[in-house]
Chains A and B, each alone.
Chain A
Amino acid sequence: MNPESTLVPAGPSATAQAPLDPGALRHDFPVLDQEVHGRSLVYLDNAATSQKPRQVIEAIERYYRHDNANVHRGLHELSRRATDGYEGARARVAGWIGAAGPSEVVWTRGATEAINLVATAWGDANLREGDEILLTEMEHHSNLVPWQLLAARTGARLRYLELDDEGRLRLEGLPPILEGGRVRIAAISHISNALGTINPVAEIARLVHDAGGLVLVDGAQGAAHGGVDVRALDADFYVFSGHKMCAPTGIGVLWGREALLDSMPPWQGGGEMISLVERDHSTWADLPHKFEAGTPNIAGAIALHAAIDYLESVGPERILAHEQALVAQTLEALRAIPGVRLFGPPRAEDRAGGVSFTMESAHPHDISTILDAEGVAVRAGHHCAQLVMKRYGVPATARASFYLYNTPDDVERLVEGLETVRGIFGS
């Protein structure tokens, strides 16, 4: 380990409840050490993508400097090393999320591709007219549109769990939908990117399973903020993206129960995913390679391994507790600003990551421009959740979202920036 490393030692003690020290962890993230428009950068757009620690950047560099080769295809030393790194990363992911084994871990480009894989490979083979797909109003477009396309192809019907006024799913809506006995799959987010809500996924999964349906969990935010235990969640599929959890863009994971993945036809055809190829047909490789056509993102997988090592050494529970403390600070500060409307659950314990808000006098775009001029990066828009915007009757919100390296000072800079907004637009 680098002598300057600020990480606490890995192991059970790391996840003990001592709060983490974001001021020290920040030094692991080179990009944070810069000025933007004359002010030190405050990066509060983590729900969109996280920054990368040098441990991850160095893993990518090490791979390309020393080990780069194609995987599973060469008998030479470099190919062996690349394959070891790539398959070692798969085993690391499997252990980290509580999978039964590496064969349950399929590499994808990200959460979006993983959902499309399931909606196509599982969906086309299993759904027919009259079947139902259960979604929620809080889903990211990535967990809506693939199912809409599937519904259009098969004649299946989309059902929705609705949101209450405080950004939680209205679970009382679930039994009436499930009573019909037609829900074949429920696709729900673990944590909402637009509202920050942590959903009771295990409870929903139990009810859906009792009614004979499967459950896909969109863990794009969940894996990054608090970690995953797919068995405790009792999911059938769990998907996530590396880039939201300190790894690069272009690498993600589909986890599925082995028997389910085994029963599914392949998705894309190409190299890697076959066993024997004849003139008019082929046989498929074993899991998980059956779903991995073409040369994969080898460096991305290896970097995701480094990212998981990094997050583990800090402790996912501590990261979540740290974020919730920042969320609590933000909620309290924003409640004191006239004209601010907050979205999502009122208590920080019920949420992770971020705070969506609007101001009466200024549009989210204007808020974002003014904050940016002060070096504070937030997101303004619909956050790929137009159904959420519609539910609350707003075209857009501003969103400040946190990660392990954000500090209470960052929240103060946000609040200071909102004072500038009020200075320009009034309240």
Chain B
Amino acid sequence: MSEIDRSTPPLNSLYQQLIIDHYRNPRNSGELPDATVEVHMRNPTCGDDIRLQLRIEDDRIEEVKFVGEGCSISQASVSMMTTLLKGRSLDEALAVARRFTGMMHGDGDAAKDPLLGNLRSLAGVARFPVRVKCALLGFDALQECMKRTQQDGTSASQPSPAPE
């Protein structure tokens, strides 16, 4: 049987000032009228809710906005994510998503990767397994946006539950 870690989780490493700041003052929040793709994701168990809108032209994210409601981790994560996406190619965006997911699953190298910018402040979430889903909700929406774009370039905005 594996050892259970009963040490105190570092609350202050979870709730960094930068996270509280993005939670209170989300960046890129609002509607994007000329979005080319929009995905609405919810986490039904806790009510975290994110509607992510992207304008993608020639495989590049030209503009990004979101409308969200939920806990500090879900909202700060999507807010920070949007600040990193503008101007990136879809491949680059996918690399950010993969790296961030790795960090949420405890990859220490990812937590030091400059590619993740401010998102590195969320590294502490990995120590709170029940909150990892919150941090990933925005990225789930991003990956769904990219999938739909690659499929047909257009998309409806049906709310879809976050994948487990």
Which residues of A are interface residues toward B (Cβ below 8 A)?
A: 35-38, 362-366, 369-370, 373, 380-382, 389, 395-396, 420, 424-425
Contact = CB atoms under 8 A, between A and B. Distances in A.
B45 A370 contact: no
B14 A369 contact: yes
Nearest to B10: A373
A394 B69 CA distance: 10
A235 B49 CA distance: 40
B46 A369 contact: no
B134 A365 contact: yes
Nearest to A396: B47
B72 A395 contact: no
A373 B9 contact: yes
Interface residues on B, range: 20 to 34
B130 to A, nearest CB: 8
Q: Which of A35, A36, A373 counts the most B-chain CB atoms under 10 A from its CB?
A: A373
Interface string B47-79: 111000000000000000000011111000000
A366 B71 contact: yes
A362 B6 contact: no
A402 B47 CA distance: 24
B69 A381 contact: no
Contacts of B14: 369
A37 B46 contact: no
B11 interface: yes
Contacts of B134: 365
A365 B71 CA distance: 6
Contacts of B47: 381-382, 389, 395-396
B6 A37 contact: yes
A180 B11 CA distance: 57
Interface string B67-109: 0011111000000000000000000000000000000000000
Nearest to A420: B11
27 contacts: A36-B6, A37-B7, A37-B8, A38-B6, A363-B70, A363-B71, A363-B72, A364-B46, A364-B71, A365-B46, A365-B48, A365-B71, A366-B71, A369-B130, A369-B131, A373-B8, A381-B47, A382-B46, A395-B47, A395-B49, A395-B69, A395-B70, A396-B46, A424-B11, A424-B15, A424-B20, A425-B15
B46 A381 contact: yes
